[in-house]
Structure 1
Amino acid sequence: MAPSKDKKSKNKEKLHEKRDESDPGLDIDDTTTTTTTGETTTTHGSNVGDITRQDAIQLGIIAFYDHGGQLGTVHAGRLPDTIAYSSLKNTQPVCLSGITSSFNQNPNKMDYRRDSQMPTSPRVRWMVRLMCVLSVGWLLLWYGLCIGPACRPSMPEEAIQDDRTGRQYLVYDCSSAPCGGWADRLEGITSTYLIALATGRSFHINITYPIDIRGFLQQNEVNWEIDQLKLLNKSTRFYSYMDNRNFCRSLTNIDFDHNHPEDVVRLRMNAIGSYYLNQNTKYKQQLLPFLNKSLASTFSTIHRRLFRFSEELNTRLSAFMNIKLNQGKNLVCVQIRIGSAVEKRSYVSISDLKPFWEFIKTRITQDGDVRIFVATDSEAVVKESLRRFGWRVLTVEGHADHIDKSDRKDVAGGFWKTLTDFYALEMCDTLVLSIWSSFGRLPAFLRGRDDGLYVFQNHQIQRTSLKDIEDEYLQRVVL
């Protein structure tokens, strides 16, 4: 005989009173009951936090103990389509493995209905504890693999050399004269970088003569700035191989660390030694990315790894970019290296300028909508180009000086002009180079294509290619 309705109500009120005494914040849904039969759980009532079968599967194993140490609820194996959870006092979570974001209840007030039909044998408790331990283990493994250092975005190998090989350093050093001009320095930097890559030394650049280079160019993929604190109490020696072909040739079979055993090697040179260094079997594996690469490709790749323009240099080059990108005009560039008395070398004489002017005039005739840029170390050449071609000529503010041998007070102004001239040549649609001048050769390498490439040679301007320029460089400077 079923209890009367009044008796049922009294029992529920007593249950509420008992629970409210210890935890007034909990609320029992008196319309919710759960019946378990075999592997099927049926839930009645609507005022509960429900989770779908898919969410329950994602939860995996959920184990709860009450304060007395008795097993609360375990759901494993085949799960019902819907599991309803409602408040229960005196339950304490021991292990929760899976996704819990599906629950919309307040976690401070969320307990789980005990399943009185679940076995509470020591074997089951041991299984639950084992699963908790395994869950923690998997969590730690996941952290190590996917959050810890192993899964952090990796930097290029060259950029972390300082962490790998902190005891030995290789520094391209230009802290005093002579270092050569800007092209000489870039050639020396390229060789120094390759040697550092071959030997595993940490690579750095120190150019402070006649001004600190970091105000003009900034590091890009490779951290080449020097932390002087790391160099304290380390053996150091400076080596200069300026205009030294024998050193370039020695790279074929050199054991660099044997010949340069110091912790900090400060190196200065002015040639790209990749032709010989790539033949050294000792360093073949370390230099694999550069094997069988052209001189132009090697220089261009390394330069872009090392440098990016400062904000001011970008601003100075914006006029050239504006011509190409916004105005759509062709940019015809001629590099006329005259040479100064202090250089003790002649490239193009003033009497040989006529072929340059005729070449520019022909280009204007063929395509009237062109602009002209003359990169030169002679102010007289700049004035003559303006007299002949007027508004078509782009000029760069500053004095045209050799950065290693200038006696002017405005050192920064001369350096800005040198770098602006140099990198503007890379943007040219048509580029005419002075023979034997790396100041035009290296921008051609950065430009990276043969079309529109010419050279002044034997008193005339003729077509050339990157391969021809490379061969001429190797014959004159390296071989």
Structure 2
Amino acid sequence: MIVRNTLCKRTIIAYCIFFFTVLLIWKYHEKSIKIEEEEDTLKVIISSSLVNTTNSTTTIIEENEKQTNSILSINENRLDYWLINNSKTLGINLTAIIASKRHGQYLVYVCHENCGGWGDRLRGIMSTFMLSLMLDRNFRIEITHPCNLTHFLRPNLYNWAQPIDGLIVVDPITHHRRFNLTRKMLITTANARKEILSNVSQILHNNRSINSIWSEDVLYWATNKDYFYQLSNNMFYRKKFKSYGIMTKYNIKLEILFPLFYEILFRPVDKIQQHTLQFRLKPKKNPIICAQIRTGRNPTIPDDKLLPGRRNISESVFSFIDSNDSNINSEIFLTTDNQQVYDEALQRYGSRLLYVSGEITHLDRSLNIDQKVCREQDKLLTDFHLLGELCDVSIISNSGFGFWGNLRRFKPFEQLFVFCAGRIYKIESMWHLYKMREQNNNGESC
């Protein structure tokens, strides 16, 4: 009888412990889901070294040696921030990401004609880079339209510009060149057929052996699609993602991984670095408000697409800035696709206006007469980098250029405002951005 009572007590205690453990796990899981889906903000811890660096770079450095050291310090601090001080990317295995992948297996993002603007291209680059990690393929980038990307951006930690090893061999007898690796071209740009887009999306979403479907040695891929949702939901590759320190599907999001991946992949050439430093190392007396105003078709870029929802965008943004008395002494950094907007801002703000000199161009929609678009691409990329490194307040259009540029800010949802359909919305998380677009015809009215 005593033995039976003892066993009964132990059983009851065991059940109680089990139930309590399950309850704790469920509460933690529920809290994690809520944080991911409803408060998708980047919670950050700014290291003292980063603060010290910011304070120490408040004077203009004139000597080349000091400028070079400043560039290196800034780049290192940006990378360290996303690897060490950002809760969403903390624990990413950088060594595994930049390591060589399967020998003779490659995934190449290509852009040789009409790939969209810089925002569209970044969406495609990041999707194919993430896919290359998932498939254990070496990643490369080939952008030649309107000119070679390496004229403006160089590899940083991942050498995406390295030639494909063994792609072409020379016959020792005839001296003829021939391809030594099998190749396949995939095109999933906006102009691709719907059935192709649907088929590719399904393969990425739920196929357990993607490399057996696309078995060629070199996959060339032209795309401007965001495939992170499909990749995150493919349960057969979860273990592979965990090997890179990406532990849950909720971390496989473009908005989370983009700023880290950008620092891993890209380093601006010296000319763009110097342009950026001229703004960043200028003594800062007042907050800087960044305004990214994309109007669509206008006299500066007459072949651009019409964006009816942005007819009054410049007046709305400038009135919004002026309506706040605390902005009276703020400097205004402006990037725009419209010369008339710049002229209006100069007349309105005078010496308070910060602007990168150069001619306004669009990568796809400006006529590249005498390589004009190539010459001015350094202005475009300087603008892009400053959106992520200069701003205390950001007011952007509902465009890829502004969105990706803003995501490079250490606190991208702090003082972020987005113009859409005649209104300016305060955006505090990705959830707010999704809701704004949902209310405006999935962003089409923006």
Q: TM-score, normalised by structure 2?
A: 0.66
> Are residues 197 and 472 of structure 1, via their aligned partners in 2, closer, same or farther at CA, if it must alter by over 3 Å?
farther
Query: Given residue 388 of structure 1, which amino acid in structure 2 is its aligned partner?
Result: R
Aligned ranges 1:53-202 → 2 under 5 Å: 156-161=95-100, 164-174=101-111, 176-202=112-138
Aligned amino acid, residue 237 of structure 1: K
Q: Which of residues 360, 372, 380 is equivalent to 1:418? A: 380
Which amino acid in structure 2 is aligned with residue 300 of structure 1? P
| Residue 472 (structure 1) shift | 6.1
Q: Indicate the structure whose relative CO is greater, using CA pairs within 8 Å and at least 6 residues apart.
A: 2
Q: What are the superposed Cα offsets for residues 366-390 of structure 1, whole Å, 9 maximum, x if unpaired?
A: 1433111121111111111111111
Q: Indicate the residue corresponding to 1:401 in structure 2.
A: 361
Q: Which ranges of structure 2 fall in alignment gaps of 5 or more residues?
A: 1-92, 169-179
Which structure features the higher share of helix residues?
2
- Does residue 441 in structure 1 map to residue 441 in structure 2? no
Within a 5 Å distance, the mapping from 1:57-456 to structure 2 comes to 156-161=95-100, 164-174=101-111, 176-232=112-168, 233-243=180-190, 246=198, 247-248=200-201, 250-254=203-207, 255-288=209-242, 289-290=245-246, 291-293=249-251, 294-323=253-282, 326-340=283-297, 341-346=302-307, 348-363=309-324, 365-408=325-368, 409=370, 410-426=372-388, 427-435=390-398, 437-447=399-409, 448-456=411-419
1:208–1:386: structure 2 CA closer, same or farther, 3 Å change rule? same
**Alpha-carbon spacing, 1:207–1:469, altered in 2? closer, same or farther (3 Å):** farther
The verdict on how the C-alpha distance between 1:450 and 1:228 changes in structure 2, with shifts beyond 3 A counting, is closer
Find the residue that maps to 2:360 and give its secondary structure: coil
Question: CA separation in 2, counterparts of 1:421 and 1:172?
Answer: 24
Quote the offset at 1:280 in angstroms: 0.4
Give the C-alpha shift of residue 332 in structure 1. Answer: 0.4
Query: Residues 220 and 306 of structure 1 are in contact (CA less than 8 Å); yes or no, is this contact kept in structure 2?
Result: yes
Deviation at 1:194, TM superposition (A): 0.9
Q: Is the 8 A contact 1:252 1:277 kept in 2?
A: yes
CA contact (8 A) 2:115 2:364 kept: yes
Identity %: 28
How far did residue 276 of structure 1 move? 1.5
Aligned 8 A contact 2:127 2:228 in 1: yes
Runs ≥4 residues deviating over 3 A: 247-250, 347-352, 472-477
Query: Offset of 1:277 from its aligned partner?
Result: 0.5
Q: Say if 1:445 and 1:466, in contact at 8 Å, map to a contact too.
A: no
Quick one: which amino acid aligns to residue 400 of structure 2? S
Contact residue 335 and residue 375 of structure 1 kept, 8 A: yes
| CA-CA distance at 1:191 after TM superposition | 0.6
- 1:395 maps to a residue whose letter is Y
- TM-score, normalising length from structure 1? 0.62
Q: Cα 1:155–1:370, aligned 2, differ >3 Å: closer, same or farther? A: closer
- What are structure 1's unaligned runs of at least 5 residues? 1-153
2:206 is paired with a residue whose SS is coil
Which residue is equivalent to 2:10? none
Please, what is the CA RMSD of the aligned residues? 2.4
How far residue 269 of structure 1 moved from its aligned partner, in angstroms, is 0.9
Measure how far apart 1:470 and its partner are: 5.6
User: Residue 173 and residue 352 in structure 1: after superposition, are their counterparts in 2 closer, same or farther (change >3 A)?
Assistant: closer
Identify if the C-alpha distance between structure 1 residues 381 and 473 changes in structure 2 by more than 3 Å, giving closer, same or farther: same
1:158/1:470 CA distance change after superposition, 3 Å: farther
How far does residue 179 in structure 1 lie from its aligned partner after superposition?
Answer: 1.1
Structure-2 change in CA distance of 1:381 and 1:404 (3 Å): same
Residue 372 of structure 1 aligns to a residue whose secondary structure is strand
